[in-house]
Structure formats: C-alpha cells, structure tokens
Amino acid sequence: MTRISRRNLIAGALAGSASLSAPMLWAQGAAHRVVILGGGIGGATAAKYIRMINPEAEVTIIERDRTYYTCPRSNDVITGVLDLDTITFDLSSHRNNYGVKTIYDEVVGVDFDAHLVRTADGSDVPYDRLIVSPGVDLMIDQVEGHSHQAAETVMPHGWKAGPQTMNLRRQFLNLRPGGTVVIVAPPNPFRCPPGPYERASMMADHFRHHNPTAKVIILDPKNKFTKQGPFTKGWERLYGYGTENALLEWVPEEQGGGVISVDPETMSVETAAGTFKGDLVNVIPPMQAGRLAKALGLTNETNWCPVDQATFASTLAPDVHVIGDSCIAGAMPKSGYAANSQAKMLAHVIRSELQGQPLPVPSFANACYSLVAEDYGVSIAAIYAVNEEGKIVSTAGGVSAIDDKPNRPVLEAVYQKNWHRTFAADVFS
C-alpha cells in the first residue's frame, strides 16, 4: 500500500474539525454520492444495502484488490478440508445488479473540506458521504525479530485471506509426521477473536486423522479467549487436551505464553515459558485500525477509530463513517458479521437523512460459528443496542451450552457451512 501524503491529510484533518457536532444533512438538490473506501465485508455490504434501500444514492467503492477471500472458513482451506474457490468473491454482482461503481486503485489522500478522495492515478472522486472500511493493519514490526519478508514466507499470519491462506495451507499439509505447529495468538483487541483457536482446532482435527504424533501449540499473551468453555470442552473430548499426548496445547500469559521474540532463521519463538520451535510457525501479530484509517487521521490514541456508535459517524472528520474492524464499536466484536450488521445500520441512517426522518433506533447482531473439528461446531451470538450513554451494549446472547447432547456440536458444524454460504451471498451476490 502506498504511503499517504501527510500534506493532504493534515490539511484535510484540520479543515474537517469544524462541523462535527451535528450530523450534516445532505445539501438540497445535490447528488447523493456515497464513496466507500474498502470493498471487503463492511464496504461491500454497505454498498449493496445503501443501493438497495436508497436507489437515488450513487455509490462508488474504491478498493485495491479485484478479488476478495473471506477469512471465515479460511481455516478450513488451511487445513485442506475446503478449496479456495469457496471463499473467493468479487464485486461483479455489485456492478451488475446494484449499479455500484467500482474503482480498483489505492487511495493516496482525502480532502475532508472539499469532500474529495484522491486515488493513486491522480483522479479526484467527490463524495457527499464517505465510508471508510479498511479492515485491520497487522503490526508485524511490533513483534521483536519478525519482518514483513518473514511474514510472507516462513512465518505467515494468514490473517488476510488469499495468498497467505495458501502459504499456510502448503506448509501445513506438508508438515512432517510428528511435526509441531506453533501459533502465536495476538493481544486484544484483534480481528476475529475465535480465529486462532479455531485454526488450532482444525489443525488438531487433521492430526487426529492423518498425523497422530503431531501437535499444535498456541502461545497466548492473554489469559482467556472467546468461547473458551466450549472450545476447551471440545478439545478435551477430541484431542486429549490437558493430558500427556494432547494434540493441542494452549500456553496462556500466566504460564509464560506471551511472546518475547521470534526468529525466522531458526523457526523458534522465545517466551517466558521457554523457547518453542515449530516446523510451521504462524505468527498472528497485534492489530490496529487499517492503515488507511490511521493515515487519514481517523484513529485516536488507541489506534482504532472512534465513532458515534448509533450512526458510525467518525468523531474526527465530518461526513465520514467508519465501520468494521477499524472502528470502536462498544461491545460488538471485530467480526465479519459485525461489519455486515454495522453496514446495514448505516444504510438505514443514510436513508433517514436523505428522507429527513429521525435517525433509526439502532439494532445490531453478531453470530459466529467456530469449528472445533470438521463435525463439531460451537458458536456465539448476540444482539446489540445503544444505551443511554450512546454505547453499544449487548441485550441478549451467549455461547454454545456445554452439555452432553450429542447433536448440539454436530448441528453447529453443519450450520457453519450453511451460514457461510448465506453470509457470503448476502455480502457479494
């Protein structure tokens, strides 16, 4: 990604600080131009739904890549139970069915005052409303000893699906008998909270069938993780977790799991609990808001984007909304489902403003299935609303119950596949 010119951005950021107190109404008679930076799950959902319920809005997506690979189910691709095709999508339906314009280019700056997006080829794209949905930035440099080169080769992250997924898959499926996989889990907050644990689970499932002396070790800077109860129970049932010959181990921070440094030369990871060597080392780095958001001045000191949680309007720039992983969304996790839900809300906010109606009462959802094994699923689900303090809170939800009903995890594994199919169609079809 090209470096954003600081000149433009500083100018833009300062100029834009004036009128932030009230949502700006669409100028009478002006074209309702919505420009969306990022054509991933958040951006693509926003484009489609805005067009669906606001046919008078002109929507343009500016995106660097022509192909999108969903992180959901990428763990299945890594472990060889799914092909890449099933997680491969593009914006052709957006163009053909919803009249969304697509510009495949990089963004080099935004003039918040003049309401213009400057792309790398020198064009200026005008907007009335800007939506920024750039995902996450993986802070490889924050991992001592790690490098961008190593992240593309021997210590991939697999946290942006596509070539990274296939790299991991190749290395994983070629693991020697009795080999070791080391997964370095990231600190909070990060994209896809259950991801590292599902990945380890699917690897252990593969070992169970194909490489029973291999093992996967998760090194964690945290002491707990999402769906921990159901995951742990599944690991006990399936992988001998907690016993001598367990296929899977989890080293939390309090047992020294926090990583001090990595060494791509020797494929080793140094922690307080000692040095771990892996035949495959999957380093999932700490994360921040997508680089574009930061470069545009949309992040605060936490390096995530503060927004009005009822409208996702940025608190740092006028007429800008930030959705998806990059934004601070109260109790909502950083998941594809959440980005999709926020995008839908945004379509309603825009419609209310276009029609001069009061802003809609927010409602959001998140549901997430994780595979503990190919035929064993667990899930989390919640509904969200905005409380009196303007913060997104959960009003109901929970994780899979842990009980002895044999069909519960069986059904949830089937639901995972079906959910992905419907979800992807909701975003990209």
Partner 1 sequence: MKGLKMTRFLTLGTALAALAAPALAEERRPTGELIAMNCGTCHGTYGRAFNDSMPPLAGMNPDKLVNAMIAFRDDTRPGTIMSRLAPAFTEEDYRAIAEYFAAQEPIPYPPEESE
Partner 2 sequence: MKPIVIALALGLTAGAATAGESAAEPALGTGELARLFAEMPPGDAENGAALHQEYWCSSCHGPSGAAQSRNYPSVAGQVESYTYKVLQDYRAHRRSEGDGRSALMVASVQKLTNQELADLAAYYASQPRPAPSGPKAKLSEATLALITKGDPQRLLTPCASCHGADGAAGVRPETPALAGLEAEYLEHTLLQYRSGARANDTAKGMRFFAQQLTEAEIKELAAYYAGLGE
Binding residues vs partner 1 (CB under 8 A): 49, 224, 226, 229, 331, 337, 340-341, 344-345, 348, 360-365, 367, 379, 381-383, 385, 387-388, 393-400, 408, 411-412, 414-415, 418-419, 421-423, 425-426, 429
Nearer to partner 1, 301 or 388 (CB): 388
Residue 375 CB, nearest approach to partner 2 (Å)? 7
Letter for the amino acid at 309?
Q
Give the residues across from 249 on adjacent strands. 217
Q: Exposed, middle or buried: residue 383 (CB in 10 Å: 0-12, 13-18, 19+)? A: middle
- Shortest reach from residue 408's CB to partner 2, in Å: 8
Which partner from the list partner 1, partner 2, none does 394 bind, CB cut-off 5 to 8 Å by kind? partner 1
Cα dihedral 328/333/339/345 (nearest 10):
-70
What's the min distance (Å) between Cβ of 345 and partner 1? 7
Q: Which does 127 bind (CB under 5 to 8 A by kind): partner 2, partner 1, none?
A: none
With the CA atoms of 22, 305, 136 and 391 taken in that order, what torsion angle do they form, in degrees rounded to the nearest 10? -90
Q: Is the peptide bond before 189 cis (omega within 30 degrees of 0)?
A: yes
Q: How far apart are CA 105 and CA 70, in angstroms?
A: 20
Q: How far is the CB of 398 from partner 1 (least distance, A)?
A: 5
- CB closer to partner 1 out of 208 and 222: 222
Both tokens of 180, joined, read 């070791």
Q: How far is the CB of 417 from partner 2 (least distance, A)?
A: 7
- Minimum distance from CB of 257 to partner 1 (Å)? 19
Pick 199 or 420: Cβ nearer partner 2: 420
Q: Which is nearer to partner 1, 229 or 240 (CB)?
A: 229
Closer by beta carbon to partner 2, 121 or else 403? 403
Name the nearest CA neighbour of 157 among 130, 137, 176. Answer: 137
Binding interface with partner 2 (CB under 8 A): 375, 405-408, 410-411, 413-414, 417-418, 421
246 binds, among partner 2, partner 1, none (CB under 5 to 8 A by kind): none
Residue 345 touches which member of partner 2, partner 1, none, C-beta under 5-8 Å by kind: partner 1
User: For every residue of 197-257, which 3-state class applies, written as one string?
Assistant: HHHHHHHHHHHHHHCCCCEEEEECCCCCCCCHHHHHHHHHHHHCCCCCCCCEEEECHHHCC
Of 80 and 398, CB closest to partner 1: 398
At closest approach, how far in Å is the CB of 93 from partner 2?
A: 19
Residue 360's binding partner among partner 1, partner 2, none (Cβ under 5 to 8 angstroms by kind) is partner 1
Give me the least distance between CB of 410 and partner 2, in Å please.
5
Q: Which is nearer to partner 1, 31 or 359 (CB)?
A: 359
Nearer to partner 2, 13 or 413 (CB): 413
